[in-house]
Chains A and B, each alone.
Chain A
Amino acid sequence: MGEKGSLQNKTYWSTLRKDIARQKWIYILIAVPLIYYFVFKYVPLWYSQIAFRDFKSVRYGILTSDWVGMENFREFVTSHYFWSLIRNTLMYSIGKILVSLPLSVILAIAIYECRHNKLRKVVQTLAYLPHFLSWVIMYGILLSLFAPGDGIINDLIKFFGGQPIDFLTNAKAFPWLVIFSDAWKEMGWSAIIFIAALMGIDVSLFEAAMVEGANSWQRVKYITFPAIKPVIVTVLLLKIGTIFEAGFNQIFMLYSPAVYSVADIIDTWVYRQGLLEGRFGLATAAGLFKGIIGMLLLFASNYFSKKFSDSSLF
């Protein structure tokens, strides 16, 4: 190494030292959160190697059981329930996107276009509220709405001459209950991001359109909707990135053995196998399987979101 190189090296180290000394408080501040990440996020990552082991119980130590290679993965992927779990997971997440996304876009446009200030404010405030209710509370509300004998929904069905249905235990009705109860809970909250985009529209566009003789329908078609189209694309792409998240908290609360065949998603199955049946290795393998696919999807959707709409998650 020449004279020059060592000089550069020296300045590099001394500026580094200076920078660190100057910002020592920041390193002190983030030290505890980083230790937190290490303990609560990275140690579980390390523990996930039990997916490759024949893990029996915590009592015998977590990382001392025998290696079994890909055996747990093989069992999960080749089992008869594998495709039904994948199908259910995708059915719920895609169904929710198909129902909730258009609903929240229409709601956002309606809130934006509504001329009655009071009506608009009441709807806006109430539409956000269900987002803050837990799925346990939602279950309580759904019980009273969908009670098989005398709930309101079944009163309506009877009024129109149909047969009353027990939505919570009927395998045909249950998926609809899951998808629409989620839409009810989240549509107002998901509309916020679209309302934000609408508020950014330049009002002079509307004035020009009015002078040109465009009516309200045409304004929505040519100004309002195009303004939120890129946001819709972004939201859609990000949702595709989390398509394996079908809503564990919701389904776990609503389902029962009667509807397992249509209700069981990967997460609920992992819970039952791992924590009720004690098959930790198999359940962890299924969780890892889902994690890897989820990661790939997230990268893909993030890539396309960057490409198409210039915004991304990270």
Chain B
Amino acid sequence: MKKKNKQVTSVAVKPTAADRGFNIVVDIFMVFILIVIVLPLWSTLTLSFRPVTFIGTYTEGMFLPPWEWSIAAYESLLGNNGFLIAFWNSIKILVEGVICALILTIPLAYGLSVKDLRGKKLITVFVLIPYIFNVGIIPVYLLIAKLGLTNHLQSVFLPVAISTYNCIIMRSFFEGIPNELRESASIDGCNELQILLKIILPLSKAIIMTIGLYYGVAFWNDYFRPMLYLTRDYLRPLPILLRNILLAAGMNEFVEARAFGNAPVEAIKAASVFLSAIPMVIAYPFIQKYFTKGTLLGSVKG
């Protein structure tokens, strides 16, 4: 993108009024989008710092100067055992889930990318049928119950530990790696396992980070499967706790939010929203450079 801008301006043609008008429209649109994206986040952030003493609307709260902010909501959340346990459960699901998902997805994607694999068509069809024909939630629910996975953290990620879509993206990436590399390694006496570990994986950091991120986001954000399969309090991950806090809006259901000390209920809700989003927000800039690369690859070749 940068390249294009430079080159276009290097052509010695004076911008006309229409060009200037165009640029102004583009800039106005970009600023508008910026405001639309930032405003909801800012309103939630300021809400989470709202002191008990504050009286006023949410809009007024957005302009509250930072020195009048209160961190009571964050203090009470981080000092609460239930919150910490939920956070820890979420971390466990995230780490175990991503490792398990990658260990299952990488070999399958690699196998499907090998050009002359015998029976490849059959295997591809075997993998695609459940992807094309979705049976819905009930049969999977019965399977989890039957396997005795209910009330195990693994039930959150095992049913979705291979996403066929992610596998196809990864396969497309592997297919793009020149075949000569494989051939020369195999002439040097490497078997296919060694080729995968020593040649393919070091070249595939971008796609592994990207797919790992996709899995990580899906597992961290999932509230539905934990709601179905984890019924014990001490197994609750963050999204379930957050959901309970947020839904405790009715008159008699403040029990959950009250347990968190004396910050305003709205501030507690907003603060728990931000704390649940934090790992994603922290990891985001680091992985962003990988995912734009990886996503483009997947989407162009897919």
Contacts and interface: CB of A to CB of B under 8 A. Distances in A.
Interface stretch (A37-45, A74-82, A84-92, A257-265): A37-45
Nearest to A256: B247
A229 interface: no
Contact of A48 (B18, B30, B139, B146): B139
Contacts of A41: 130
Contact of A50 (B27, B139, B292): B139
Interface in A126-184: 126-130, 132-137, 139-145, 147, 150-152, 155, 184
Interface in A262-311: 267, 270-271, 274-275, 280, 283-284, 286-288, 290-292, 294-295, 298-299, 311
B119 to A, nearest CB: 9
A107 interface: yes
Nearest to B133: A295
Main secondary structure of the interface of A (DSSP, over half): helix
B114 interface: yes
B145 A34 contact: no
Contacts of B3: 203
Contacts of A141: 40-41, 43-44, 273
Contacts of A298: 132
Interface residues of B, number: 104
Interface stretch (A1-9, A94-102, A210-218): A210-218
A113 interface: yes
Contacts of B261: none
Contact of A288 (B58, B135, B142, B161): B135
Contact of B158 (A16, A40, A116, A150): A40
Given A136-B223, A140-B44, A117 B107 contact: no
Contacts of A112: 1
A299 B133 CA distance: 11
Contacts of B191: 25
A39 B30 CA distance: 48
B136 A290 contact: yes
Contact of B108 (A33, A45, A111): A33
A210 B8 contact: yes
Main secondary structure of the interface of B (DSSP, over half): helix
A34 B108 contact: yes
Contact of A284 (B7, B19, B56, B139): B139
A11 interface: no
A155 B58 contact: yes
Contacts of A24: 192
Interface stretch (B64-72, B251-259, B276-284): B276-284
A20 B135 CA distance: 34
Contacts of B38: 126
A74 B161 CA distance: 34
A25 B192 contact: yes
Determine the interface band of chain A, counting residues with CB < 8 A from chain B: 35 or more
A236 interface: no
B302 interface: yes
B123 interface: yes
Contact of B132 (A62, A128, A283, A295): A295
Contacts of B187: none
A167 to B, nearest CB: 13
A106 B117 CA distance: 44
A29 B110 contact: yes
Contacts of A275: 137-138, 141, 228
21 contacts: A19-B118, A33-B162, A37-B130, A44-B140, A62-B142, A110-B29, A115-B26, A117-B5, A123-B30, A126-B34, A151-B58, A155-B57, A155-B59, A201-B4, A210-B8, A216-B22, A274-B141, A275-B137, A288-B135, A291-B133, A295-B134
Interface of A: 16, 19-20, 23-30, 32-34, 36-37, 39-45, 47-48, 50, 58, 62, 106-107, 110-117, 119-120, 122-123, 125-130, 132-137, 139-145, 147, 150-152, 155, 184, 188, 192-193, 196, 199, 201, 203, 206-207, 210-211, 215-217, 220, 248-249, 252-253, 267, 270-271, 274-275, 280, 283-284, 286-288, 290-292, 294-295, 298-299, 311, 313-314
Given A48-B138, A295-B133, 18 more contacts: A29-B110, A30-B123, A33-B104, A40-B161, A50-B142, A58-B142, A113-B22, A113-B23, A140-B242, A140-B272, A150-B58, A196-B299, A199-B1, A207-B7, A215-B16, A274-B137, A274-B141, A291-B134
